[in-house]
Amino acid sequence: MIYLICGEKNEGKTTRLKEIFYTVKNAYGFAADKQFDGDTLIAYNLLNLRSGASITLARIRTATDESAAENLIQASFCFNTSGFAWAEEVFEDALKAGADAFFLDEVGRIELGARGHSKLVHRALNSNMDIYMTVRNSNLKDIVRMFGIKEYTRIKVR
């Protein structure tokens, strides 16, 4: 079964994903936790929901980020491609363990451009696991179309 946790920006999709994760047996996956400096968002860190390990996925973009080959620039953020590779390792661990469910946070504009977690999403959807993904309401129709999702359960944040 595919579960899409939907809501607006900053509405609590990641929080809801984590709440559900801790109720599902034999689950693996990751959440994208925000990192703040005071009130200012400065980065997103991927958190392995099973082990607690984490890696920086994205941070506020600087002028030097533009030329680094390992970076993916999207809006005001610089994404480190090693973070996406790390997320794929979390998925590989789930496959090896025979997990029943996998959690991905967040599938959005980058994946719609066939970058970021795009390959991972395709692999996860073709696995035998239940899949839980967070998706902004504004991206829902495009995500369903692009990834060929025929049937899903929508979980609203509010």
Q: Which helix (H) or strand (E) holds 14?
A: helix 13-21
What pLDDT is recorded for position 73? 59
Strand ranges inside the chain, DSSP E: 2-7, 27-37, 40-48, 54-60, 71-74, 77-80, 101-104, 130-136, 153-156
- pTM for this entry: 0.90
Report the pLDDT value the prediction gives residue 75, as an integer from 0 to 100: 59
Contacts of 114 (CB under 8 A, 6+ apart): none
CA distances from 52 to 30, 33, 87, 106 (A): 9, 12, 13, 18
Closest CA to 59 of 48, 44, 69: 44
Q: Residue 12, SS3?
A: coil
The count of domains in the chain is: 1
Residue ranges of the chain with pLDDT lower than 50? 65, 69
Which CATH number does the domain housing residue 35 bear?
3.40.50.300
Q: Which domain holds residue 12?
A: 2-156
pLDDT, tens digit (0-9, with 9 covering 90-100), for 55-93: 999 888 665 545 554 555 555 778 888 999 999 999 999
- How many whole angstroms separate alpha carbon 54 and alpha carbon 65? 21
Residues ≥6 apart with Cβ < 8 Å to 52: none
What pLDDT, on the 0 to 100 scale, is given for residue 71?
54
Query: Phi then psi for 61, rounded to 5 degrees?
Result: -70, 145
CB 2 within 8 Å of CB 149: yes
